[in-house]
Amino acid sequence: MMQGRTLVLSVDRDDDIGWKAKIDSPVIGRAATVKAANTLALADPEDSDVNAIFMAVKIYDELTAKGEDTAIAVIAGNHLHMIEGDRRIAAALEQVVQETQATNCILVSDGAEDEYVVPIIQSKIPVSSITRVIVNQMPNLEGTYYILKKLFDDPKISRMIFIPLGLAMLLYASAYLLGYPGTATIIVVGVIGCYLLYKGFGFDEIVHSVMDALKMSLSRGRFSFITYSATVLLIIIGFTTGFINILKYYTSDSGLGILLYLMTFIYGSIEWLIVAGLVTSIGVIIDVYVNEREAFGKVIVFPFFVTALGLILYGASVYIITVSSIPDFPLNAADAQSVIVYSTISGIISAVLGVVIQYFVNKKMAELRKQEIIEVM
């Protein structure tokens, strides 16, 4: 026989007895526990905590019949805020232990919450036994429900699942109502596919970094906020132009597949993307010159490199599209060869010019720092 007083404890972590039955915890004593179980059963007969509380009463009666010194209680957490609820469970258990003078505990739960509440209970009183109450007809239902509920309560997971599905359904309904039922399926599949690529290639991280840069530049009153905002619009225009260009020139009988898609996209969007890169570079250069002049040499090269990369990509896209014999393309093979040669040479000249300017700027900044040190001394 266990020495000391045994506390038979039922834990309702999500506070169904308070949320549904309007009963404040802790509930101490057999009569109060039975009343709480009956009230919760009338409020929601399907709640698994009803079974757990009645199981606690059954264990209490069995131990009492054997002559053991036993107490019973029900404690609850918080229905909306689990962290606050766990703190409430710890405080309520401390109150129960003080009132009942229990020396050990038998924990009764519905099985889904054990891993969360057991450490909290053990921090206040030794746990001598754990009883899990599972509904016989559906032994895995409560655990599965609890896991799914926790997942969907997570804002990150809920946004990841519900937003694309909701947008796809909304687009499907809109297309169907407008009289395009065949197009509706294509739209839904396209939206879901774009979202999966957006997440898979990590474009969401790029978007988040851009938004963080916008917030930082705005909060610090930087000029780059204007250029970042303009860059976002220019990139949207460039991507739109690129996709339109794909629809304009792509032919299904071409054997290049994805490469041709990419080149036609670059051909249509590269001018806008170059301008977007130059606008961003100008904003960064101005901010660095005004606020962090010692790093001016590192950023002065940005517009030259952006221009160089854009020119090289433009020449490559023109050449690949031309040799693929796409109909209605405005350039022929001879023109394409000239374009790729001149654009590549221009890109290299731009990159070299940027490096040279960076060298002289770094040299000038080093002289200025040296002069400032001399003046301070």
**Owner of token pair 């169907």:** 176
DSSP 5: P
92 shares its domain with 162 = no
128 shares its domain with 187 = no
Cα 154 to Cα 160: distance, rounded to the nearest angstrom = 10
Cα 320 to Cα 367: distance, rounded to the nearest angstrom = 48
pLDDT, position 257: 63
pLDDT < 70 regions, the chain:
1-3, 80, 111-115, 134-160, 180-184, 186-187, 190-191, 197-221, 249-258, 327-328, 375-377
**What is the tally of structural domains in the chain?**
3
292 shares its domain with 365 = yes
Q: Is the pTM of this model over 0.95?
A: no
**CB 75, CB 96: distance < 8 Å:** yes
238 shares its domain with 341 = yes
**Domain-embedded: residue 29:** yes
Assess whether the previous peptide bond of 26 is cis (omega < 30° from 0). yes
Give me the count of residues in the chain: 377
26 shares its domain with 94 = yes
Name the nearest CA neighbour of 184 among 196, 176, 192.
176
Beta strands in the chain (DSSP E): 6-12, 27-28, 70-76, 104-109, 127-132
53 shares its domain with 98 = yes
**Domain-embedded: residue 215:** yes
118 shares its domain with 262 = no
116 shares its domain with 160 = no
**Domain-embedded: residue 322:** yes
**Domain-embedded: residue 292:** yes
207 shares its domain with 272 = yes
235 shares its domain with 361 = yes
Cα 265 to Cα 270: distance, rounded to the nearest angstrom = 8
pLDDT, position 266: 86
**CB 342, CB 316: distance < 8 Å:** no
196 shares its domain with 258 = no
239 shares its domain with 105 = no
| 3-state class percentages of the chain: helix first, strand second, coil last, to nearest 5 | 70, 5, 20
Cα 102 to Cα 97: distance, rounded to the nearest angstrom = 6
**CB 360, CB 300: distance < 8 Å:** no
Cα 23 to Cα 32: distance, rounded to the nearest angstrom = 10
Q: What is the domain range of residue 184?
A: 154-201
Q: What would the DSSP string read from start to end of 92-152?
A: HHHHHHHHH--SEEEEEE-SSSHHHHHHHHHTTS-EEEEEE---TT-TTHHHHHHHHHHHH
Name the nearest CA neighbour of 311 among 271, 356, 278.
271
